[in-house]
Amino acid sequence: MKTQINNQSNETYFKQQNSITSDPKPKIGDDDGITDRAMNLLIVLFMLLTLGISIASAAPANDEVKYRILLRQAMLDMDRLEYEKAIIKLLEVRANTEENPNVNQMLGICYLYGREDAEKAVFYLNRAAQFASTEFEEWDMDEKRSPIQTLYHLGKAYEQLNDMAKAAELYTRYMAFLEVDPLASKSRTFAMIKRNANNCYVAAQNQVQQTENNVVLNK
């Protein structure tokens, strides 16, 4: 269940207060007033209601702190390459908070390089890639975007699934961001990604050609 904070409106609260205090208080024992037993019951009910409102207001706040701590721990797990531990924490965070591209990309990386499950990696990285940004803030607990490197990791996942056309497309998109930086565009990393993109493009062309040949043979 997603974390929600439920607050009672001031208007409702003041209406409750007015309903109790607007009429003069009868003397205890008056026939037309309220009995001791009824008064005690009202007091108990009011206390239970107040306690319930306090608990309901405090619980979501406590949950929010809990999941922020879990997210931080997952980040530390990933920093130590302990992907399996991170997956457990991230899945709990994702199941109990609003969907977050940063959490999705973290899960995608864990599945890609930890469990080597490219299909699950593609699922989570696809949901994160549309929010990829060069302004991503690492280690920011409130970050709602994903890093631009998400495009590269998604390309890697597609390459493992033998979808070479998608892999080439994503590598190319990622290189477009690197080309803006003169240093990055001349780095070994850029050269490696460019080589991967070219290889995937050639492989994709071969896949198309092979498919067309198979269609001809089956006619």
Q: What is the pLDDT of residues 35-46, one digit of tens each?
A: 666 655 655 666
**pLDDT for 90 beyond 70:** yes
Mean of all residue pLDDT scores within the chain: 80
pLDDT value of residue 212: 80
- Range from 16-20, 184-188, 205-209 carrying the lowest mean pLDDT: 16-20
Q: Domains (ranges, CATH) in the chain?
A: 25-161 (1.25.40)
Grade residue 61 by pLDDT with cuts at 50, 70 and 90: low
Answer with the residue of higher pLDDT: 1 or 28. Answer: 1
21: confidence class by pLDDT, cuts 50, 70, 90: very low
Q: Is residue 16's pLDDT more than 80?
A: no
Amino acid code (one letter) for 12: T
Would the pLDDT of 110 be above 90?
yes
Q: How does pLDDT run across 169-190, given as a tens digit for each residue?
A: 999 999 999 988 888 888 999 9
Paired with 146 in beta bridges are 132
Task: Give the pLDDT score at 50.
Answer: 60
